[in-house]
């Protein structure tokens, strides 16, 4: 089986190597010359455990080739970004998916399979993608098979989850579903769940919306508890002792290219009905403002306070800064005129010095990502070097009892300091 994977990003590149590793001939296509050159020169442009090694093996075996242009293949997998459009409801911008479909048209032949992996709004395949191929004379389900097969992998565990997670395969027709499912049977060891395209589209958006709404609840509870002088973290821990309760954790906000984006794909379809989804988005996307407001209160009264932010990425142990609340917080603090140092070993920020050197004479360390490196820091030593040993841990990664020489502030005790 010969596959052409369009878009070699966080999903496309691992997908291409999974197929190549299972014996398929894969051409990975990316329009960025820079990405193609990095890959050809033995590197990878994204941080993901084990990815570099497996990419190299696939190149060495000759199963993976990369190019800026598509070629004729049996299967086309489209994994290009689908950001929010710049409209009022932040709908799904499918222009790159449409462009990729148009780009493969000259190479297509009868009985090819076209799979869209990019997350899209419900009904996108039916309403916008199918007509592109029909206009060329194809009958979907008879001489061309079109399906949506969203990925569900967690950044940081992509290679493992791509193989072992259950996979949704939703074709335009039953024949489309059958053909697309066969493609994934090459390497997927999880269950292959067969459905139709529009159900697959909304199911994928629902998964991330579910998580976004649950995080919003945790963030709202953190604010409410703060106002009531209650330790929110302790309360969540206790509530979670209930056999059917699993409240998530408050943080600096929700980032990444999934939770902060996909819920709008449902909301924008029917805004007057999708009220909870929008409220959750509003709660999560305004968390950086809450963190900034509290940070300002924490340094109040200090002449020219120096703040050191640990973490730029949207979550721990990855190098992905897309939609990162940390970046928003840093931008807002800088705009307010604060003197700020930023340290994030995963994106090479501030690494010229050690974190201990960076915190010298600072008044507040602000923890914004839960990288393992941050958990290994000796915060007593950090405290000794700071001018005022305050740490605002928005990720709740430091055990305050372990460190007597610093004041650890988190969503459990923030109300005592502001
Ligand atoms: N977060 C919190 N509190 C929590 C949990 C997470 O504030 O208790 C924050 C994180 O710090 C981060 C954001 O939420 O900023 C999102 O992180 P995440 O780990 O929940 O999810 P993603 O965006 O990295 O990956 C999600 C996953 N979806 C679900 O868990 C439903 C993944 O399986 C999807 O494949 C991925 O989106 C995607 O590509 O859609």
Instruction: Write the pLDDT tens digit of every residue in 180-204.
Output: 999 999 999 999 999 999 999 999 9
Tokens of 361: 């004479």
Q: What is the pTM of this model?
A: 0.95
Taking the CA of residue 256 as reference, the ligand 1 atom at the shortest distance is 23
Active-site residue, 258 included: yes
CB of 350 closer than 6 A to ligand 1? Answer: no
85: left (phi over 0), alpha (psi -120 to 50) or beta: beta
Predicted local distance difference test score (pLDDT) of residue 398 = 96
Residue having the nearest C-alpha atom to atom 9 of ligand 1: 254
pLDDT of residue 155: 87
Smallest CA separation from ligand 1 atom 25, residue: 154
Listing DSSP states for 289-306 in one string gives HHHHHHHHHHTTT-SS-E
Q: Is 204 a catalytic residue?
A: yes
Ligand 1 centroid – CA 257 distance (Å):
9
Q: Buried b / exposed e across 82-99, counting CB within 10 Å, b at 16+?
A: bebbeeebbbbbbebbbe
Q: Decide: 273 in ligand 1 pocket, CB within 6 A.
A: no
Q: What is the pLDDT of residues 98-131, one digit of tens each?
A: 999 999 999 999 999 999 999 999 999 999 999 9
Average pLDDT over every residue of 232-246: 98
Cα–Cα dist 394/343, whole Å: 15
174 exposure class (CB count in 10 Å sphere: 0-12, 13-18, 19+): exposed
For the Cβ of 31 lying below 6 angstroms from any atom of ligand 1, the answer is no
User: Is the CB–ligand 1 distance for residue 211 below 6 Å?
Assistant: yes
How confident is the model over 369-379, as a mean pLDDT? 97
Q: Which one of the listed residues 258, 294, 306, 328 is annotated catalytic?
A: 258
Percent of the chain past pLDDT 70, that is, above it, reads 100
pLDDT at 28 over 90: yes
What is the token pair recorded at 74?
């049996």
- Nearest ligand 1 atom, CA 249: 8
The mean per-residue pLDDT over the stretch 279-301 comes to: 98
Ramachandran angles phi, psi of 289, nearest 5°: -65, -35
Per-residue pLDDT band at 309 (split at 50, 70, 90): very high
pLDDT tens, residue by residue, 256-283: 999 999 999 999 999 999 999 999 999 9
Whether pLDDT at 176 is above 90: yes
Pocket test for ligand 1, best of 10, 256, 285, 291 (most atoms within 8 A of CB): 256
- Ligand 1, residue 204: give the atom nearest the CA: 40
Query: Residue 156: is its pLDDT beyond 90?
Result: no
What digits encode the pLDDT tens for the residues 383-416? 999 999 999 999 999 998 999 999 999 999 999 9
Residues near 244 by Cβ (< 8 Å), separated by ≥ 6?
Answer: none
CB of 207 closer than 6 A to ligand 1?
Answer: yes
What's phi and psi for 210, nearest 5 deg? -55, -45
Q: Read off the pLDDT of each residue in 355-379 and give the average, rounded to a whole number.
A: 97
pLDDT band at 250 (very low <50, low <70, confident <90, very high): very high
From the CA of 250, how far away is ligand 1's center (Å)?
Answer: 13
Q: What is the pLDDT of residue 47?
A: 86
Q: How far is the CA of 412 from the centre of ligand 1 (A)?
A: 22
Q: pLDDT at residue 315 above 90?
A: yes
140 pLDDT more than 90: yes
Residue 261, burial from CB neighbour count under 10 angstroms (0-12, 13-18, 19+): buried
- Cα 266–chain centre separation: 18
Write down the mean pLDDT value for the chain. 97
Evaluate: CB of 411 within 6 angstroms of ligand 1. no
Ligand 1 atom closest to Cα of residue 211: 31
Check if 251 has its Cβ closer than 6 Å to any atom of ligand 1. Answer: yes
């Amino acid at each position: 089986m010969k596959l052409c994977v369009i878009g070699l990003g966080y999903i496309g590149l691992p997908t291409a190597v999974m197929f190549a590793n299972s014996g398929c001939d894969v051409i990975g296509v990316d329009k960025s010359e820079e990405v193609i050159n990095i890959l050809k020169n033995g590197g990878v442009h994204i941080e993901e455990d084990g990815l570099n090694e497996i990419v190299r093996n696939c190149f060495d075996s000759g199963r993976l080739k990369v190019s800026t242009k598509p070629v004729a293949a049996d299967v086309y997998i489209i994994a290009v970004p689908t950001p929010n459009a710049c409209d009022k409801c932040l709908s799904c911008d499918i222009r790159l998916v449409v462009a990729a479909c148009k780009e493969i048209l000259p190479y297509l032949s009868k009985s090819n399979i076209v799979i869209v992996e990019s997350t899209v709004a419900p009904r996108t395949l039916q309403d916008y993608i199918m007509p592109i191929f029909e206009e060329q004379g194809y009958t979907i389900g008879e001489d061309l098979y079109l399906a949506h097969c969203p990925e569900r992998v967690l950044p940081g565990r992509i290679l493992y989850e791509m193989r072992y997670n259950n996979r949704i395969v939703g074709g335009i027709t039953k024949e489309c579903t059958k053909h697309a499912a066969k493609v994934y049977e090459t390497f997927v060891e999880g269950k292959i769940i067969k459905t139709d395209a529009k159900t697959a589209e909304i199911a994928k958006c629902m998964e991330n919306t579910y998580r976004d709404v649950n995080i919003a609840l945790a963030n709202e509870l953190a604010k409410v508890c703060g106002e009531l002088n209650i330790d929110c973290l302790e309360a969540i821990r206790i509530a979670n002792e209930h056999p059917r309760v699993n409240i998530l954790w408050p943080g600096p906000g929700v980032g990444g290219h999934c939770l902060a984006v996909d819920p709008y794909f449902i909301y924008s379809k029917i805004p007057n009905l999708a009220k909870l989804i929008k409220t959750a988005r509003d709660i999560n996307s305004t968390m950086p403002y809450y963190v900034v407001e509290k940070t300002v209160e924490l340094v109040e009264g200090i002449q020219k306070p120096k703040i050191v932010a640990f973490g730029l990425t949207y979550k721990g142990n990855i190098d992905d800064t897309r939609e990162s609340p940390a970046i928003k917080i840093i931008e807002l603090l800088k705009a307010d005129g604060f003197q700020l140092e930023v340290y994030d070993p995963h994106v090479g920020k501030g690494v010229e010095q050690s974190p201990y050197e960076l915190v010298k004479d600072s008044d507040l360390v602000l923890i914004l990502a839960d990288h393992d490196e941050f958990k290994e820091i000796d915060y007593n030593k950090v405290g000794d070097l700071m001018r005022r040993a305050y740490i605002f841990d928005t990720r709740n990664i430091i055990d305050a009892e372990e460190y007597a020489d610093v004041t650890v502030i988190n969503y459990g005790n923030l109300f005592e300091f502001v």
